[in-house]
Copies of this chain bind each other. A is one copy, B any other.
Amino acid sequence: MIRAGIHGATGYTGHELASILDRHPAVEIAFGTSRQSAGRNLADLYTQGPDLPLIDPSSAPVGEIDFMFLCLPHTEAAPVAVAALDAGARVVDLSADFRLRQAAEFEAWYGEAHPHPEFLSQAVYGLTEIARAQLAGARLVANPGCYPTSVLLALFPLARAGALSGSVIVDAKSGVSGAGRSPKQHLQFVEVAENLSAYSVGRNHRHVPEMEQALAAWTTQPIDLIFTPHLAPVSRGLLSTIYASLREGWDEARVRETIESTYQGEPFIRILPDGQHAALAHAAYTNRCVLGISVVKGVALLTSALDNLVKGAAGQAVQNANVMAGLDETTGLV
C-alpha cells in the first residue's frame, strides 16, 4: 500500500485529489493538511467527503509517506516539496513552482524570486502521455496546468512532426472551479451565470510561458502564441479551441493520421471521428482528454476538452503517481 500525504486538501483540487485517492485501491491517505481548517474533517467542508481529518501543515508526518501531493499556492509549494524530498518522499507538485525550467522566467511571470531554483532542472514536467519514460524514476514531478494540458496534448504530435508553421491561437473556455475556492466577487453565482467573459487575453496569463517552453522543446519552429482564456458558466470542464497554422503539405488526413498514431492505445486520450468536435461533456468527471480535428485553409482547428479538476489537475497527478510507482497507469481513474 502506498502511503500518500496531501498538502492543501481543502481547495477544489485538493478535495478532488483526496476523493480520487480515497477510492484508489493501492493508496492510503496518510494525512491531509489545511492551515485554516486544521482540526476539522474534509467531509465537513464538502457535501461529499471523503472522511479525512485535517491537520496543520507543521505537524505533517512527512517521514512516513511514500508520495507527497502538493495543492498549495505558488512559492509555498517549493519549500514543502524540498522538505519532503529530503525526508525521502517522492513529490507530485500541482502548483506552478517547478513547471518552468528557468528561475528568471518564473520570477518574470510570478513576480517573486523562486524559492528553490536548484531543483528546477530535476523536476519532470508531468504530461503523462509524453513524459512517461522520465516519470518512472522521477522524484519530483511538476504537474502541468489545466490549460497547458489541454493545449499541449493537442499540439504535441504536430509540433514534434514539424507541422507547425509559427502561429498558434488558443481560444480557451474554463469552468469556474479552475479559479479556486476562495470567495471572490467575480466568481459569485450572480456574476457568472448567464455570462461569458474573456480575461488575461493575449499573452497575459501565467500558463503562456508553460506552453511556450514545452512547444520550444518539441519544435525548432519559433511559435507566436496568442492565448485567450474565457470564464464559462459551468462548474468544471475546460475546452480549448486551437488554431495552429500548418506548413505546406499538411492536410487534414495527415494531421489526423499524425495525432491518431501518436496516441494509439492511450487510455486517456480519445480522438473523435471526422466531423465531430470536443465538448465539455465528453470529458466531465473523467481523466480523459478528448480531441476533435479539422483543417481549414491551412490551419489545424483542434478542439481539446478535459475536466480541469481531473485530467487538468488531480487526475493527472494520480496518473503520474501511478507511473512513478510502477502501477497500471489507469488505477483508480476513469
Contacts of A281 in B (CB 8 A): 47-48, 191, 194-195, 197
Inter-chain contact B233/A234, CB cutoff 8 Å: yes
Q: How large is the interface on A (under 10, 10 to 19, 20 to 34, 35 or more residues)?
A: 35 or more
With A226-B243, A279-B196, A279-B198: A190-B181 Cβ-Cβ less than 8 Å: yes
Partner of A226, one of B284, B286, B299: B299
| A100-108, A111-119, A136-144, A199-207 - the one binding chain B | A199-207
Secondary structure of the A contact surface, majority rule = mixed
| A90-98, A155-163, A171-179, A313-321 - the one binding chain B | A171-179
Each complex incorporates copies of this chain amounting to 4
Residues of A that sit less than 8 Å from B by CB:
12, 47-48, 169, 171, 173, 175-177, 181, 183-185, 187-199, 201-203, 224, 226, 228, 230, 232-237, 239, 241, 243, 277-282, 284-286, 292, 294, 296-299, 301, 303
Closest 5 CB pairs of A and B: A197-B279, A202-B296, A183-B183, A171-B171, A47-B281
List 15 A–B pairs whose Cβ atoms lie within 8 Å, in order of A's numbering.
Answer: A47-B279, A48-B286, A183-B188, A189-B193, A193-B194, A196-B234, A196-B237, A198-B277, A198-B292, A201-B292, A201-B296, A224-B298, A233-B233, A243-B243, A285-B285
